[in-house]
């Protein structure tokens, strides 16, 4: 049966709305905040263009399309047209596929639709029988859903709907969130409460919030979600939990969101009763095959497994003398008959720590290039250490032409101020995506590696470690919503600018008022650099306190592994500061293609932002600014702290332009950030001064407290740990 809502007047269409009125301004609505377009002329324009609504098709996805349109148009346009002189225009909104909608079919969009593939869409103004039509057309229902979210975004950001002609298709195929959520509902590196997945009440209770989660992801075009922590619990693969995961998959399916799980490599032993998990053992292989068959019986569109193996104590193929490819391929063979994928993480560093940690993943994986099955992607963190405020791109990008490499970004800000600091991450991610690897000469960017255009990968992917939890506003801080948003937009199209993403997000989340949008955009765009300045300027990295990574701990030197200690990374001594990764040091520079190896290896040519990442630099070294290294360090730390005070002032000037509740939370968090930026600055300078033996230059404040004070601070219950 096809329910054709042909030419259902907007008024009638909205009358069918069953949803409640918009909730209070507590951030729950995210960027899907459909508040009335206040400008009456603009609202009259939308009423005229969208006078009728024609959404055909009766799939669950098309039901979601209709729900979203009702909710969106009801909120944005109201139930009555504005009381302005009626225009003669009576346009119709048509949304569907050529198969579901006769109007779409009649437009003969064949070639244009072919070009946007199975998830893309066309958004066009057309004319049908003398009537103006706004068409959202796609080859699939989920493409229509994505297109409808785009249309709503245009209205939310107050764009006129005249003569639209847009064709959108994702540049990356697997656009994923990775939840580091545990079955007990704690979240590793989660700063927004507990896990959204209420495993205990699943499958019987399907929290309506799951649907809102799926809506938010679909609005960005995200199409996969890994439900569980990479530090995996084998229990999720038992029948009881698979039934729960299947319930979530049912809720997400209409929104084009596939479910994936993390596979604990030792599961055959822990829940299968086998004596080994050796990937070459036929009984182990048979166990995984049977497990895959079982999973697909309850989740027919199951996406596959994400695996962290032989990393930070997790079990893996090396426990049996096998390599990463042998491990990944065994799982890939089990999933292949069902079309499932293995996302095998390259975040590995050896238990024996013989080598600069920054080099280890490259050393282990490059020799395996070409040995992975077709349904394996190797998932690589953006940088070679671990989600630091700034890292050079991971040298694996470009170095494995025969193996699809996918990007892993961290949305949750483990090392960037966690749940409170305002740090808009799009500029950081773009810096990596736009970096030139020189893998095939100049102009071989990281983005071209991961979108497959450089090496012709069959599978392409981008994953973001989620920052979502049970907090009412989803992400703990309102501005952390922008990072979920930005990640989704970049996974769809990595060429969009950080500015455009920020501007869209601000308009959708807060207001279209330019007097608000401009300063907030400015704050966002500068915020990442501010964090780098007050935490880890000039290429410093991994200086965070033990375990929870909250706050400064550059002095830490007592952890069991050398490469867990901040002192391993900054190498401060009386001569200078920084990690020598040139040929005279660990030679990590040699993992980069020419000319980057020479550039990074040269003290004169290395970009200043990576200086101490690659070089041990004398305290009196003359920096381009004319300052010595020590004076430059003081300057950067001070600038970072000042940038946060500046953000605080800008925000204070916006009071009254948005609702009080959200205004006040941001103001309070910025005050915390200002205090903590000062703490970072002072603690770091007090510590590094014990090596530099140089005074704080004139014009800069001395640290507020003694080093002993900073050393005494302790945060036993910092969240996310």
Task: Name the residues annotated as catalytic.
Answer: 312, 386, 414
Q: What residues contact residue 173 under an 8 Å CB cut-off, 6+ apart?
A: 459, 460, 461
Choice between 231 and 238, CB closer to ligand BDP: 231
Closest approach of ligand BDP to the CB of residue 381, in Å: 7
**In the complex, least distance from residue 262 CB atom to ligand BDP, rounded to whole angstroms:** 10
- How far apart are CB 721 and ligand BDP at their closest, in Å? 8
* Residue 505 phi, psi dihedral angles, 5° rounding: -65, -45
Q: Which of 348, 390, 339 is nearest to 366 (CA)?
A: 348
Nearer of residues 176 and 631 to ligand BDP, judged by Cβ:
176
Q: Provide the token pair at 368.
A: 């395996």
As given in the structure block, the two tokens for residue 394 are 């991971």
Nearest to 721 by CA among 177, 180, 263: 180
Residue 415 beta carbon to ligand BDP: minimum distance, rounded to whole angstroms = 8
Q: At closest approach, how far in Å is the CB of 230 from ligand BDP? A: 5
Contacts of 367 by beta carbon, 8 Å cutoff, 6+ apart:
none
Q: What φ, ψ does residue 412 adopt, rounded to 5°?
A: -65, 135
List C-alpha distances in Å: 681 to 135, 318, 485: 54, 42, 30
How far, in whole angstroms, is CA 587 from its chain's centroid? 31
Q: Nearer to ligand BDP by C-beta: 379 or 470?
A: 379
Q: How far apart are CA 647 and CA 630, in angstroms?
A: 26
Q: Please say which residue, 109 or 406, places its beta carbon nearer to ligand BDP.
A: 406
Q: Is the peptide bond before 203 cis (omega within 30 degrees of 0)?
A: yes
Closest CB to ligand BDP: residue number: 386
Report the C-alpha gap between 98 and 71 in whole angstroms. Answer: 25
Question: Which residues are CB-contacts of 467 (< 8 A; sequence separation ≥ 6)?
Answer: 190, 191, 192, 411, 412, 413, 475, 476, 480, 483, 484
Choice between 189 and 459, CB closer to ligand BDP:
189
* 188 versus 499: smaller Cβ distance to ligand BDP: 188
- Number of continuous H segments (helices) and E segments (strands) in the chain: 23, 16
Q: How far is the CB of 267 from ligand BDP (least distance, A)?
A: 18
Q: Determine the length of the chain.
A: 721
* Choice between 139 and 182, CB closer to ligand BDP: 182
**Helix spans in 511-559 (H):** 514-535
597 to 551, 602, 613, 614, 645: CA distances (angstroms): 33, 9, 13, 10, 38
If residue 271 lies in a helix (H) or strand (E), which one and from where to where?
none
Omega of the bond leading into 196 within 30 degrees of 0 (cis): no
Cβ nearer to ligand BDP, comparing 13 with 347: 347
Least distance (Å) from ligand BDP to the CB of residue 387? 5
> 131-137 and 121-128 as β-strands: parallel, antiparallel, unpaired?
antiparallel
Of the pair 168, 414, the CB lying nearest ligand BDP is at: 414
For ligand BDP, the binding residues (CB under 6 A) are 188-189, 230-231, 308, 347, 386-387, 414
Contact 570, 577 (CB under 8 A): yes
Cβ 344 to ligand BDP shortest distance, Å:
13
Question: Shortest gap between Cβ of 178 and ligand BDP (angstroms)?
Answer: 9
Q: How far apart are CA 656 and CA 635, in angstroms?
A: 35
Least Cβ distance, residue 314 to ligand BDP (angstroms): 8
Residue closer to ligand BDP (CB basis): 43 or 189: 189
CB proximity list for 44: less than 8 A, separation 6 or greater: 81, 82, 84, 87
Alpha helices, H only, 561-705: 566-570, 596-601, 611-614, 629-652, 660-692
Query: Partners of 181 in the beta sheet?
Result: 187
Q: Rank residues 267 and 416 by Cβ distance to ligand BDP and give the closer one.
A: 416
Shortest approach of ligand BDP to residue 625 CB, angstroms? Answer: 32
Look at residue 310 and give its three-state secondary structure: coil
Name the nearest CA neighbour of 253 among 308, 207, 302. Answer: 302
């Amino acid at each position: 049966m096809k329910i054709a809502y042909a030419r259902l007047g907007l008024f009638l269409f909205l009358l069918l709305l069953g949803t409640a009125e918009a909730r209070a301004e507590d951030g729950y609505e995210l960027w899907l905040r459909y508040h009335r377009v206040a400008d009456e002329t603009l609202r009259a324009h939308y009423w005229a263009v969208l006078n009728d609504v024609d959404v055909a098709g009766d799939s669950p996805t098309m039901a979601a399309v209709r729900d979203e349109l009702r909710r969106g148009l009801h909120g944005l346009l109201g139930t009555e047209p504005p009381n302005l002189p009626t225009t003669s225009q009576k346009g119709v909104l048509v949304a569907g596929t050529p198969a579901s909608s006769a109007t779409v079919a009649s437009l003969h969009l064949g070639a244009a639709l072919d070009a946007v593939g199975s998830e893309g869409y066309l958004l066009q103004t057309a004319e049908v029988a003398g009537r103006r039509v706004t068409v959202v057309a796609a080859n699939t229902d989920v493409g229509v859903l994505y297109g409808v979210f785009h249309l709503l975004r245009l209205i939310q950001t107050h764009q006129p709907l005249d003569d639209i002609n847009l064709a959108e298709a994702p540049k990356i195929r697997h656009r994923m969130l990775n939840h580091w959520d545990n079955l007990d509902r704690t979240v590793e590196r989660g700063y927004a409460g507990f896990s959204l997945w209420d495993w205990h009440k699943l499958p019987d209770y399907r929290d309506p919030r799951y649907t809102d989660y799926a809506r938010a992801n679909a609005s960005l075009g995200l199409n996969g979600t890994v439900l569980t922590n990479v530090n995996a619990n084998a229990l999720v693969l038992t029948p009881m939990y698979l039934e729960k995961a299947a319930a979530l998959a049912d809720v997400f399916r209409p929104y084009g969101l596939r479910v994936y799980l993390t596979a604990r490599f030792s599961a055959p032993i822990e829940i299968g009763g086998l004596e080994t998990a050796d990937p070459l053992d036929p009984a182990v292989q048979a166990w995984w095959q049977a497990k895959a068959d079982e999973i697909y019986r309850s989740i027919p569109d199951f996406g596959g497994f994400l695996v962290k193996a032989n990393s930070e104590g997790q079990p893996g193929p090396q426990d049996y003398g096998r390599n990463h490819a042998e491990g990944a391929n065994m799982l890939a063979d089990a999933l292949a008959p069902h079309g499932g994928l293995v996302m095998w993480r390259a975040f590995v560093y050896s238990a024996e720590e013989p080598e600069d940690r920054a080099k280890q993943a490259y050393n282990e994986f490059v020799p395996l290039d070409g040995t992975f099955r077709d349904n394996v992607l190797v998932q690589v963190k953006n940088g070679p250490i671990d989600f630091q405020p700034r890292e050079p791109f991971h040298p694996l990008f470009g170095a494995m032409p025969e193996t699809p490499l996918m990007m892993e970004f961290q949305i949750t800000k483990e090392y960037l101020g966690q749940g409170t600091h305002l740090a808009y991450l799009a500029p950081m991610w773009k810096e990596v995506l736009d970096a030139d690897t020189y893998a095939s000469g100049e102009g071989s960017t990281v983005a071209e590696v991961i979108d497959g255009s450089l090496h012709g990968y069959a599978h392409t992917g981008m994953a973001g470690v989620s920052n979502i939890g049970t907090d009412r506003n989803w992400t703990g801080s309102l501005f952390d919503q922008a990072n979920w948003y930005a990640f989704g937009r970049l996974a769809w199209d990595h060429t969009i600018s950080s500015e455009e993403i920020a501007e869209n997000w601000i308009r959708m989340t807060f207001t279209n008022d330019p007097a608000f949008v401009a300063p907030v955009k400015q704050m966002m765009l500068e915020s990442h650099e501010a964090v780098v300045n007050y935490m880890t300027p000039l290429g410093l990295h991994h200086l965070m306190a033990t375990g929870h990574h909250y706050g400064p701990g550059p002095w830490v030197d007592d952890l069991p592994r050398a490469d867990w200690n901040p002192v391993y990374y900054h190498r401060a001594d009386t001569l200078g500061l920084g990690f020598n990764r040139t040929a005279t040091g660990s030679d990590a520079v040699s993992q980069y293609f020419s000319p980057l190896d020479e550039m990074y290896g040269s003290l004169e040519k290395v970009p200043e932002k990576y200086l101490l990442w690659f070089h041990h630099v004398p305290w009196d070294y003359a920096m381009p600014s004319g300052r010595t290294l020590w004076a430059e360090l003081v300057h950067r730390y001070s600038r970072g702290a000042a940038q946060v005070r500046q953000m605080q002032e800008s925000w204070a000037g916006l009071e009254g332009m948005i609702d009080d509740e959200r205004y006040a939370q941001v103001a309070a968090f910025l005050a915390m950030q200002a205090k903590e930026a000062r703490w970072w600055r002072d603690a770091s300078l007090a510590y590094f001064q014990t090596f530099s033996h140089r005074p704080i230059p004139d014009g800069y404040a001395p640290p507020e407290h003694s080093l002993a004070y900073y050393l005494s601070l302790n945060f036993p219950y910092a969240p996310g740990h």
